[in-house]
Amino acid sequence: MDIAIPAPDKCPLCGSTSFENRYKNVKRFKRSYNVYECKGCGLGITHPFPGLDHLTGLYSSTSYRDKGGKRFIAPVETVVRSLRTGRLNKIESLSTKGRMLDVGCGLGLMLALARDRGWEVVGLEFNNETAAPARKEFGLNVRTGRLSNNGFEKCSLDVITFWHSLEHLEDAVDDVREAAKLLKPGGLLLLSVPNFESLQSRMSGPGWFHLDVPFHLYHFSASNIKKLLKDAGLEVVRQEHFSLEFNPFGFIQSFLNMAGLRHNLLYDILKTGSLRPEGDERGSAADTYITALLLPFVGIASVFFTALEVLFRRGGTVDIYARKSPLIKARLRTPAKTPPVFEGNTYMEPEGHQKNMSD
């Protein structure tokens, strides 16, 4: 059962109290959701948040991943695995090997690859059920629950990644701030999220593939992600608006949704058998037939529009790499001199401080 909460009264990112109801009554899984947009920073917020029981069901092995951690048919899974190598290559182009945390690690493909290359790795997942595949398949150390409650020491991690997981987190804004504290000076934070201000989003409206309520609790943009990182003391060092994994298909499925076909039908067809909708939720044979007829045309259109959104830096998803200042290390090692204390008109030395000629 969903939690009956009021419309947002304060943006967790910028503190604004002014919102626009951008998408009303978006129907998913026989429930309705609204998506509010903050007028201060553009952050989108799904309303109402799913309750814990509903979230547990959404991410169960009968809905989100199968018991083996897979989501798609074999050819798609092969492509996904190959793309994880590219992710790790980008990380290693910006960071030396060290300790890596992947928040929302899923099956753990990238962490397993990183471990094989000499990284010390740890993952974080929603609960024990979602963590089980990575533990069983690759023997990975995967913790569960909130980032702030897992005992990570401050300044202890070299790399933290949120690969399309941040938008799923109830405390997403606070989790980025917490991640900044956990990074070592000079450490790297990677955020990959759907872009709420993208060309895809604006063209597709509530039919946008990457809107994905109620899984996506927040809807970020490149601009408010950069604001969040700056406020957390991180400096953006790279920003990418093209993803072969997400952007072309995002247009394909969004176009099909806009055509009035059963929502995300093609995406569900590509899922592994146990995760495909059944009964009335499967969609009609006519919808499947029309999808097959339209696929070549929307495929060609997706190439054009993907190139266009990259040109205008409005990608359907955005990857942002940010670094924690190495100067913080020097500040931590050299604490500021304790200031003198004044009580009334009397000058007093701080307790334990011995005055000498250099003071």
Q: What percent of the chain has pLDDT over 90?
A: 72
Q: What is the CATH number of the domain that holds 93?
A: 3.40.50.150
Helix (H, G, I), strand (E, B) or coil at 258: helix
Q: For residue 61, what pLDDT band results from cuts at 50, 70 and 90?
A: low
d(CA 70, CA 64): 9
Within-domain flag for 156:
yes
pTM for the full model?
A: 0.87
**Is residue 349 in a domain?**
no
List C-alpha distances in Å: 231 to 97, 226, 322, 336.
Answer: 27, 9, 12, 23
Residue 173 domain-assigned (yes or no): yes
Q: Would you say residue 9 lies in a domain?
A: no
Contacts 24+ apart (CB under 8 A), 120-128: 124/150, 126/55, 126/59, 127/56, 127/59
Helices (H), 95-190: 109-116, 128-138, 172-182
6: pLDDT confidence band, cut at 50, 70 and 90?
A: low
Q: What is the DSSP string of 328-359?
A: HHHHHHSPPPPPPEEETTEEEPPTTPPP-TT-
Q: In this structure, is residue 190 part of a structural domain? A: yes
Which uninterrupted H or E stretch holds 75? helix 74-94
Q: Which three-class secondary structure state does DSSP give residue 20? A: strand
What is the C-alpha separation between 131 and 216, in angstroms, rounded? 19
Q: How confident is the model at residue 353 (pLDDT cuts 50, 70, 90)?
A: very low
Report the relative pairing of strands 218-219 and 44-47 from DSSP bridges. antiparallel
User: pLDDT digits over 74-113, tens only?
Assistant: 999 898 888 889 999 999 999 999 999 999 999 999 999 9
Pick from 79, 73, 130, 82: which is nearest to 106 by CA? Answer: 130
The lowest-confidence range among 82-91, 151-160, 268-277 is 268-277
Number of domains the chain contains? 1
Containing H/E element for 200?
A: helix 199-204
**134 vs 348, higher pLDDT:** 134
Q: How many CA atoms lie within 13 A of 13 on its CB side?
A: 27
Domain that holds residue 228: 19-329
The reply to whether 4 falls in a domain is no
Residue 308 lies in a domain: yes
Structure tokens at 300: 């060609």
pLDDT tens for 192-241 read 999 999 999 999 999 999 999 999 999 999 999 999 999 999 999 999 99
Q: Strands, E, within the chain: which ranges?
A: 19-28, 31-38, 44-47, 99-103, 120-125, 142-144, 157-163, 183-194, 218-219, 234-240, 317-324, 341-343, 346-348
The answer to the question of residue 351 being in a domain is no
294-313 pLDDT tens trace: 999 999 999 999 999 999 99
- Selection from 256, 216, 222 nearest residue 242 by Cα: 222
> Which residues, in sequence order, are bridge partners of residue 141?
none
